[in-house]
Amino acid sequence: MISRWLRFLLWQPYALLCRRFPLWPFQVKITRPVEYVTCIQIDNLLTRLLSRFSGGYDYAVCYLVDETLLIDTGFPWARRSLKKTLQDLGVVESITTVVNTHYHEDHTGNNDLLVELCGAEVLAHADAVPEIRFPVELRWYRSFLFGPSEIADAHPIGDSIKTEHMRFEVIETPGHCPGHLCLFEPERKILFSGDLYIAADLDSQLGDADGPKWIASLEQVIQLQPEWLFDAHGTVLEGSAAVEQHLRRKLEFLQTIRARVYQFATHAQSIEALTRKVFDRQSLVDFLSFGEGWLSLITGSDFSRSNIVKSFLREKFHTETPETLSTELEKEAGEAAVSSAEAQQP
C-alpha cells in the first residue's frame, strides 16, 4: 500500500511531465520500404541500450498504410515525437483506424493520442481488448522505460481490414502473448508481424508467453509464404527466402527449447534447475542471473527464460496420457529402488 501511495504522489506527476517533455530526447526515422507503406521508427538512448544488451526491442515502430491505417502506436514516452511526425506527414485528418497487434504498452502506448488527434477507431484481437481497455498497473521498469499509457477505448477486429489499395487478412498468432495478431496482404504477400519474430533467439519472455502456441503460429505464417515482413521493432525483410529463413530460425529455436524441456523434465525439480539444464549456458550473465538471462537481471525476473520453459511444461503434461504418466512413475520408482538397494550394499 505504501508503494502505491509513493507511486501516486511522486511517480505520476513525473510521468505526466515526461510524457510531454521527455527526459531522454527521441529521434525519428521515416522510411517507405514499399509502395503505400510508411515506417515510423522512434527511439532514444534508453531503448537503444536495451536493444544492445537484450536484442530486438530497439524501436517503437508504427506502420502507416495508405495514410489511413496505423499499425501499433508505440510507447507512451514517444507521444510528442509521434504527434509531431503525424502532423509533419499531413496525415492527422486522414488516419481513421488503428490496429494494435497486441496489448503490450510499447504497441498501444499512444492509442489515446490517435483517438484524440485523429478521431481514429482502435481495433485489436478480442482477447487483447480487455487488456487495452482495462490495463493493469505496469511494473516499475516498464513505466520507466516506456512510460505509463493513458487508457483508450478499443474494439474487436473482424476477419479482414481494407484500405484504399490493400486488403488485409487478420491472422491469429498467439504465442508472444494471448490475443496477438498479424496482418497479411495476400496479393502483395506483405506481413505485418507484430512481435511474432522480434529476434530469432530471444529467450527471456514475459509470463504471458506461450511457447507451443508460438510454434503453431510460426508454422501457420510460414505456410503463407510472405515476401515482405514488417516486424514491430524495426526489422524489415524482403524476399520470400529471407522471410522464411528468419521465421524458421525462430521456429527451430523454440522447437529446440521444447525438445530440451521434454528431455530434462523427467522428475520433480525446481523450475530454476530445469531452466539451467534446458539452456545450459555458462557465461557471466548466466551466473549473475541464475540462468535466467540478461533481461531477467534488468527486469527483476519479470522477463525470464523460465517463463517459456513453464509453457512447454504445461504442454507436456496436458498431452501425456494417464498411462504414460503411470509408466514414467513406475520407472522412477524402480530407479529409486535400485539406487536404494545399491546404497545399502556393503
The helix or strand, by DSSP H or E, that contains position 60, with its residue range, turns out to be: strand 60-65
- The residue from 182, 208, 239 where one domain ends is 239
In angstroms, the CA 20 to CA 83 distance is 11
Residue 247 lies in a domain: no
Indicate whether 229 and 274 sit together in one domain. no
In angstroms, the CA 241 to CA 264 distance is 34
pLDDT value for 135: 86
Phi and psi at residue 109, to the nearest 5°: -65, -20
Residue 95, all three cell numbers: 488516419
Indicate whether 193 and 271 sit together in one domain. no
Given the C-alpha cell 514516452, which residue does it identify? 77
CA dihedral defined by 305, 175, 115, 71, rounded to 10 degrees? 100
Given the C-alpha cell 515510423, which residue does it identify? 40
- The b-or-e profile of 293-330 (16+ CB within 10 A means b, else e) is bbbbbbbebbbbbbbbbbbbbebeeeeeeeeeeeeeee
Show the beta-strand stretches assigned E in 15-87: 27-34, 37-43, 60-65, 69-71
- Three-state SS at 42: strand
Residue 24, all three cell numbers: 531522454
Residue 336, all three cell numbers: 529409486
Residue 1 lies in a domain: no
In eight-state DSSP terms, residue 49 is: H
pLDDT value for 346: 44
Indicate whether 41 and 107 sit together in one domain. yes
- Rounded to 5°, the CA angle 91-159-195 comes to 65
Residue partners of 153: CB distance under 8 A and separation at least 6: 115, 122, 133
- Enter the pTM of the model: 0.84
**Backbone dihedral region for residue 178 (phi beyond 0: left; psi -120 to 50: alpha; all else: beta):** beta
- The residue from 206, 239, 272 where one domain ends is 239
Indicate whether 102 and 215 sit together in one domain. yes
Per-residue pLDDT tens, the chain, 346 aa: give them. Answer: 555 555 555 555 655 555 555 556 678 999 999 999 999 998 877 666 666 655 555 567 899 999 999 999 998 888 889 999 999 999 999 999 999 999 998 899 999 999 999 999 999 999 999 999 998 877 776 766 777 778 899 999 999 999 999 999 999 999 999 999 999 999 999 999 999 998 888 888 888 999 999 999 999 999 999 999 999 988 899 999 999 999 999 999 999 999 999 999 999 999 999 999 999 887 877 777 778 877 777 777 788 999 999 999 999 988 766 555 455 545 544 554 434 444 444 4
Given the C-alpha cell 474487436, which residue does it identify? 156
Strands 190-194 and 228-231: parallel
Indicate whether 198 and 265 sit together in one domain. no
In angstroms, the CA 100 to CA 114 distance is 12
Indicate whether 186 and 290 sit together in one domain. no
Residue 301 lies in a domain: yes
- The residue from 207, 239, 271 where one domain ends is 239
Residue 249 lies in a domain: no
In contact, 323 and 315? CB cutoff 8 Å: no
pLDDT value for 343: 41
The CATH number linked to 70 is 3.60.15.10
The count of structural domains within the chain is 2
Amino acid in the structure at residue 264: F
In angstroms, the CA 242 to CA 168 distance is 21
In contact, 25 and 77? CB cutoff 8 Å: no
Positive or negative: CA dihedral 129, 180, 58, 308: positive
In contact, 115 and 153? CB cutoff 8 Å: yes
In angstroms, the CA 96 to CA 243 distance is 30
Which residues form the domain of 205?
9-239
